[in-house]
């Protein structure tokens, strides 16, 4: 079953998200395009006020299990953006991110109510469909707040000189992350693991000093990076 008629939007989302994940350059341009894709898709698709099941369809297969299909222009940007934000930026205040992400979620769900009809009450997977939809939209909203706060932040950084107290490496099948653990740089910070480039990791020893740049964030959610 065809989920919706905007195949070109799904293809664009897939290609751009793969590009941003594996070769994020030009970073700000790619981020901006991928950020607006779900909004554009939801508005274009919702102009005739279809049911929310046109975005996410959940069915029971022959084996009694559950299959679901979600519009790529929603799920892919949400997942790739939040992954890229966690890889590229270190947030200092996750509580503030949570609150502002929830505000963004409420606003976007309110907007969706004008463009889409409720799921039919006789739909066997009524509750699960809402859960999957809200879950995907929530991931997108947190990625939106996270990204806008950091990517567009041109505030001057506060620079702190700190000591490296430990080093560690996290490896998965597809990605390796290098961490420096540093001493506190302000009264609001504790010893923190900061992801760094492999080259900086290799040339830095425990006991060395590094510079941490702390920025206020365009949405007032502080974040930092190592020079």
| Measured CA angle at 149 (ends 145, 152), to 5 deg | 125
pLDDT at 37: 93
Looking at the structure of the chain, the number of domains it has is 2
Please say if the pLDDT value at position 44 is more than 90.
no
Mean pLDDT, the chain, as a whole number?
87
* Pair (123, 171) in one structural domain: no
* Pair (99, 197) in one structural domain: no
Q: Would you say 226 and 194 are in contact if contact means Cβ atoms under 8 Å apart?
A: yes
Per the domain annotation, does 162 fall within a domain?
Answer: yes
* Pair (24, 124) in one structural domain: yes
- Spatial distance between the Cα atoms of 44 and 128, rounded to a whole number of angstroms: 25
pLDDT at 36: 95
Closest residue by Cα to residue 188 from 92, 91, 123? 92
Indicate which CATH number applies to the domain containing 208.
Answer: 2.40.50.660
Per the domain annotation, does 23 fall within a domain?
Answer: yes
Per the domain annotation, does 34 fall within a domain?
Answer: yes
* Pair (38, 135) in one structural domain: yes
pLDDT at 114: 85
Residue range of the domain that includes 164: 158-226
Which of 107, 130, 151 is the C-terminal boundary of a domain?
Answer: 151
Q: Average pLDDT in the 9-18 region?
A: 92
Q: Average pLDDT in the 189-208 region?
A: 85
pLDDT at 191: 55
* Pair (108, 168) in one structural domain: no
* Pair (144, 62) in one structural domain: yes
* Pair (184, 127) in one structural domain: no
* Pair (114, 165) in one structural domain: no
Per the domain annotation, does 207 fall within a domain?
Answer: yes
Per the domain annotation, does 163 fall within a domain?
Answer: yes
Which of 130, 151, 172 is the C-terminal boundary of a domain?
Answer: 151
Per the domain annotation, does 1 fall within a domain?
Answer: no
Least confident interval from 163-167, 187-191, 222-226: 187-191
pLDDT confidence tier of residue 2, bands split at 50, 70 and 90: very low
- Spatial distance between the Cα atoms of 20 and 118, rounded to a whole number of angstroms: 33
* Pair (114, 222) in one structural domain: no
Per the domain annotation, does 121 fall within a domain?
Answer: yes
Which of 124, 151, 178 is the C-terminal boundary of a domain?
Answer: 151
* Pair (128, 167) in one structural domain: no
Q: Average pLDDT in the 129-151 region?
A: 94
Q: Is 220 left (phi over 0), alpha (psi -120 to 50) or beta?
A: left
pLDDT at 187: 62
Per the domain annotation, does 61 fall within a domain?
Answer: yes
* Pair (131, 178) in one structural domain: no
Q: Average pLDDT in the 111-128 region?
A: 77
């Amino acid at each position: 079953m065809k989920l919706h008629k905007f195949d070109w939007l799904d293809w664009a989302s897939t290609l751009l998200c793969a590009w941003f994940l594996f070769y994020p350059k030009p970073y700000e341009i790619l981020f901006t395009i991928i950020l607006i894709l779900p909004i554009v898709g939801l508005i274009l698709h919702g102009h005739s006020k279809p049911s929310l099941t046109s975005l996410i369809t959940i069915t029971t297969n022959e084996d009694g299990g559950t299959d679901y299909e979600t519009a790529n222009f929603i799920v892919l940007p949400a997942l790739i953006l939040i992954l890229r934000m966690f890889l590229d930026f270190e947030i200092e205040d996750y509580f503030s991110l949570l609150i502002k992400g929830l505000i963004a979620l409420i606003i976007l769900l309110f907007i969706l109510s004008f463009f889409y009809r409720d799921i039919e009450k006789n739909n066997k997977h009524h509750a699960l469909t809402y859960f999957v939809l809200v879950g995907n939209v929530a991931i997108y909203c947190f990625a939106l707040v996270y990204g806008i706060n950091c990517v567009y932040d041109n505030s001057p950084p506060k620079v702190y000189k700190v000591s490296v107290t430990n080093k560690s490496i996290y490896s998965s099948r597809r990605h390796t992350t290098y961490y420096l653990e540093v001493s506190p740089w302000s009264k609001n910070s504790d010893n923190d693991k900061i992801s760094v480039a492999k080259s900086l990791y290799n040339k830095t020893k425990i006991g060395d000093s590094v510079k941490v740049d702390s920025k206020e964030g365009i949405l007032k959610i502080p974040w930092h990076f190592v020079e």
